[in-house]
Amino acid sequence: MAKIAFLLADYFEDSEMKNPYDALTQEGHETVIIGIEKGASYKGKNGTTYISDLSAQEADASQFDAIIIPGGGAPEALRVNDEIIDFVKQANEQGKLIAGICHGPQVMISADILNGKSVTCYIGIRDDVKLAGANYLDEEVVVGGNLITSRTPKDEPAFIKEISTKLASLA
């Protein structure tokens, strides 16, 4: 089974964290919540709360098979943290699966890993991903190399299915 990092900060979109986290945990994968601080409590837009297992500074990309970045307001806080960006860059350099939904690709933009990749995202950041060199597609889920992206909570079933399929192929 895979070891999966969920990157989290306050004001995440609750379902975009809860549904992939629960589904992948039920499949038997090891899920680790990484925040800016270890042991910090992060609250979603609708009140769901998670506590981080590790800080980004402690996290080692080589220890993980995948990274998932839920959307909402959290990616805005994550993308300005150097340790988060270094973690994502290292994972990308190692060819690890990196999945982001909604505003999640904002972290990918700041990590400068979108150039030449096909992605989707929340329409409000569409121009940002294009300016980062990505090929934007308005589809429920897009696989571009080691990246998996989706647009909104309604795309979660396809997003989760694609992540599960990709993780199964790693086994």
Question: What is the set of active-site residues?
Answer: 102-103
Give rounded-to-5 percent helix, strand, coil for the chain: 40, 25, 35
**Rounded CA separation 167/4 (Å):** 10
Place of tokens 């299915």: 161
Nearest to 112 by CA among 100, 99, 129, 95: 129
**Rounded CA separation 129/3 (Å):** 27
